[in-house]
Structure formats: C-alpha cells, structure tokens
Amino acid sequence: MSYNTLNEEEEYVIVKKGTERPFTGRFLENKAEGMYVCRRCNAPLFPSDAKFDSGTGWPSFDDIVEGNVSEIPDEDGRRVEIVCTNCGGHLGHVFKGERITEKSTRHCVNSISLDFVEKK
Ligand SMILES: [Zn+2]
C-alpha cells in the first residue's frame, strides 16, 4: 500500500504527533457534505454529518467511520490519542462525557491530518 507524500508540516503532525495551532486549520469552517479521509492513506474517517462546532478551534466530530479510528493512551498519561487504524497516522484526541452533543464524544482532529471528499 502506498501512502501520499507528506510535506514537512503534515509530517510534523501526522508522524511526529504534533498539533496544529487552533483556528488555523483549513477544515474548521467547512460545512460541505462529504467524507473526511486520512491525509496519508485516504481511509474514510469522519462523515461530515458528525462534524460540529465545538468552539475549540479544531474540527470536531462526535462520530467516526466504525473501525477506522483507533484510540490509544496518549504519552501524556491523561488524554486518549486517536490514530488512523489503517496507517497509524496521528489525528488528534478524543474527549468523552463533555455533553456538548447527544453522543457526548468529541473527536478533536487536526485539519492537516485530513483530506475531504465532497459528496457530488
Ligand atoms: Zn491513514
């Protein structure tokens, strides 16, 4: 399986588990209908209807494409990291029990880890 080539900024976030600055990501305000996919391997990760405005400055989703997003304990010992199940690329973190949406789950994702396929 071949992966998309990453630029330096993408590699910093996706491979080295960095975080993009809040309110800078290209998908923060995206309200189009479609599928958010992994920037590195194109696996479908988050449907657009799961996206909501959390006010945090990062794209937020309360649901995933089942099986395609994996949760692992973050190195900081507090948070739960989320990665692409297929390629292991870093996506962001998941927070539960905040009650912002009905599902009470917030997948806080770096725009740079994603690509978007608009529904036609
Ligand atoms: Zn991937």
Residue pair 46/107 in contact by the 8 Å Cβ criterion: yes
Residue pair 38/84 in contact by the 8 Å Cβ criterion: yes
Domains of the chain (ranges, CATH numbers): 8-118 (2.170.150.20)
Q: Tell me the Cα Rg of the chain.
A: 13
pLDDT in tens, 44-98: 999 999 999 999 999 999 999 999 999 999 999 999 999 999 999 999 999 999 9
91 C-alpha vs ligand 1 centroid, how far in Å?
9
Q: Answer yes or no: pTM beyond 0.85.
A: yes
CA–CA gap between residue 22 and residue 111 (Å, rounded): 10
Residue pair 24/58 in contact by the 8 Å Cβ criterion: no
12 C-alpha vs ligand 1 centroid, how far in Å?
15
State the number of CA atoms in the 13 A half-sphere of 56 facing the CB: 20
Assess whether 108 carries a catalytic annotation.
yes
